[in-house]
Structure 1
Amino acid sequence: MSRPDAVTGPGVLVRCRGAARTYGDGPAAVVAVHGATCEVRTGDRIAITGPSGSGKSTLLHLMAGLETPTAGRVVWPALARGPVPDQVGVVFQGPSLIPALDVVENTALPLVLAGRPEEPARRRALDCLALVGATGLADKLPEELSGGQAQRVAVARVLAAAPLLILADEPTGQLDRRTGRHVVDVLLASADTLGAALVVTTHDPAVARRLPQRWTMHDGRLRTGPRPPRDMPAAAPERTVP
């Protein structure tokens, strides 16, 4: 387990010090995360495993600035503007597309909100949809998509914003095995291209093996693994034997 005094140094994209999240008060209170201490640095590739309800999603939401810790602290030392979409991108586990926008508009939305002109934003969105094999969905509305298709679009939307930290919550959970492998390939390759860190929560041991650093969560408690050498590459894309 990482020592608290090791949570320091340059290139730290997000740092948690004793970060906890409790929902409710009194006897009905539920502690989703107990005092997590960790950091994610530039170039990290981290898999977080653990059973459902162990606090993985809540930890990612704390790292993304979407949840406020009820104890401890979460900071973003190397991100000049903090956890905004072009700095921290989140692939949510549940539905996250805006129903009134078609797929390409959903994918381009972070760029439009950041002030990029509509046409360049659309071209970037189409490029990212192509990466995840979803170009043919560009004109569809979210209600016309399967769960797996919507998940691929959600990945494309995050990649379109080119963040420095990618947080993916069960990104392959609704995908068949082949498509899931491809999405992990895309996330790893995009993180390499962007120079971004990648943190993935997963139930799938095959996905976890693709990332060189492994953390686990159980009953809201985080255990971090040893940090691999900085020059250790991520696993190569998996191949299907004919």
Structure 2
Amino acid sequence: MNTAEVLVRCEAAARTYGTGANAVVAVHGATCEIRTGDRIAIAGPSGSGKSTLLHLLAGLEEPTTGQVTWPGQAGKPRPDTVGVVFQGPSLIPALDVVENTALPLVLCGQPEPSARRRALDCLALVAAAHLADKLPEELSGGQAQRVAVARVLAAAPRLILADEPTGQLDRATGRHVIDVLLAAADTLGAGLVVTTHDPRVAGRLTQQWSMRDGRLQPDPDAFSPSAPATPQGAEP
């Protein structure tokens, strides 16, 4: 029996956009648990529902039916419990890089000087400390993504959710970002979920799930030789 702490639980969670004939089901009744120590890759093509599932796990979207819960957490998750690395641009234009990185800490009540020191340490982890005083508009897509990773790590969350974190990075930088995410998850004792279409990225994580047409399921073509983990209630 797996005795690791459950960080988030989906029970038949579905997400539909629109109504009637225009309704689009992005996620069909996903049932799964993410625990401390989990290292999960969710593979699938664009439009398969990976990002929507991550948003449900993060509490950023409400399920249309079913439920998502965070055991031991009262209400919605905070940045220091669940951190999200978004696929698209997510930095606040008016704040420089170090201010963007420190923002989750400040929102959680940490004094600005200590939040800034923590932010600079995390920027160094992703080789972005030299960008500290730049505004988001001065960054390349890859640089902005590294800063987004540092911002999540700064809050030391229990669960890290990364949506295609290497999609805008060259191979070497992408490999380094995955190194940092894995090391941070180990240090924090956190769970880590990464969505990706890159077999090299998926192969770095110990469990593989897939999304196909909005359905969470075990992947018969898992990227690593180890057997994929099976989400609870997944369709065969």
Do residues 34 (structure 1) and 28 (structure 2) align?
A: yes
Instruction: Give the structure 1 partner of residue 117 of structure 2.
Output: 123
Instruction: Give the structure 1 partner of residue 203 of structure 2.
Output: 209
Q: Give 3-state SS (helix, strand or coil) of 2:46's partner.
A: coil
Instruction: Give the structure 2 partner of residue 110 of structure 1.
Output: 104
Residues matched between the structures, number: 221
Match of 2:136 among 134, 142, 149: 142
Decide whether the 8 Å contact of 2:160 with 2:191 is kept in 1.
Answer: yes
1:84 positional shift? 1.0
Q: Hey, what's the Cα distance between the residues in 1 that align with 2:73 and 2:197?
A: 29
Q: Give 3-state SS (helix, strand or coil) of 1:38's partner.
A: strand
Instruction: Give the structure 1 partner of residue 234 of structure 2.
Output: none
1:59 positional shift? 0.1
Gaps of 5+ in 2: 219-227, 231-236
* Residue-by-residue CA offset, 1:149-179 (whole Å, 9 max, x unaligned): 0000000000000000000000000000000
Q: Give 3-state SS (helix, strand or coil) of 1:179's partner.
A: helix
Q: Give 3-state SS (helix, strand or coil) of 2:165's partner.
A: coil
Instruction: Give the structure 1 partner of residue 229 of structure 2.
Output: 226
1:226 positional shift? 2.5
1:78 positional shift? 3.7
Decide whether the 8 Å contact of 1:10 with 1:78 is kept in 2.
Answer: no
* Residue-by-residue CA offset, 1:200-223 (whole Å, 9 max, x unaligned): 000100000000000000100001
Instruction: Give the structure 2 partner of residue 173 of structure 1.
Output: 167
* Residue-by-residue CA offset, 1:24-44 (whole Å, 9 max, x unaligned): 000001100000011101110
Q: Give 3-state SS (helix, strand or coil) of 1:216's partner.
A: strand
**CA distance change for structure 1 residues 19 and 114 in 2, over 3 Å: closer, same or farther?**
same
Equivalent residue letter for 2:189: G
Q: Hey, what's the Cα distance between the residues in 2 that align with 1:165 and 1:100?
A: 28
Alignment of structure 1 residues 38-187 onto 2, 5 Å: 38-79=32-73, 82-187=76-181
* Residue-by-residue CA offset, 1:95-124 (whole Å, 9 max, x unaligned): 100000000000000001111111100000
Q: Give 3-state SS (helix, strand or coil) of 1:13's partner.
A: strand
Decide whether the 8 Å contact of 1:11 with 1:42 is kept in 2.
Answer: yes
Q: Hey, what's the Cα distance between the residues in 1 that align with 2:46 and 2:163?
A: 12
Equivalent residue letter for 1:11: E
Decide whether the 8 Å contact of 1:16 with 1:75 is kept in 2.
Answer: yes
Equivalent residue letter for 2:21: P
Q: Hey, what's the Cα distance between the residues in 2 that align with 1:226 and 1:53?
A: 22
Instruction: Give the structure 1 partner of residue 233 of structure 2.
Output: none
Equivalent residue letter for 2:17: Y
Q: Give 3-state SS (helix, strand or coil) of 2:8's partner.
A: strand
Equivalent residue letter for 1:60: L
- TM-score normalised by the chain length of structure 2: 0.91
Q: Hey, what's the Cα distance between the residues in 2 that align with 1:175 and 1:80?
A: 36
Decide whether the 8 Å contact of 2:4 with 2:37 is kept in 1.
Answer: no
Question: Pairwise CA RMSD of aligned residues?
Answer: 1.4
Decide whether the 8 Å contact of 2:102 with 2:151 is kept in 1.
Answer: yes
Q: Hey, what's the Cα distance between the residues in 2 that align with 1:81 and 1:185?
A: 32
1:80 positional shift? 5.2
Runs of 4+ in 1 over 3 A off after TM superposition: 78-82
Gaps of 5+ in 1: 1-5, 228-242
Decide whether the 8 Å contact of 1:11 with 1:78 is kept in 2.
Answer: no
- TM-score normalised by the chain length of structure 1: 0.89
Q: Hey, what's the Cα distance between the residues in 1 that align with 2:213 and 2:164?
A: 18
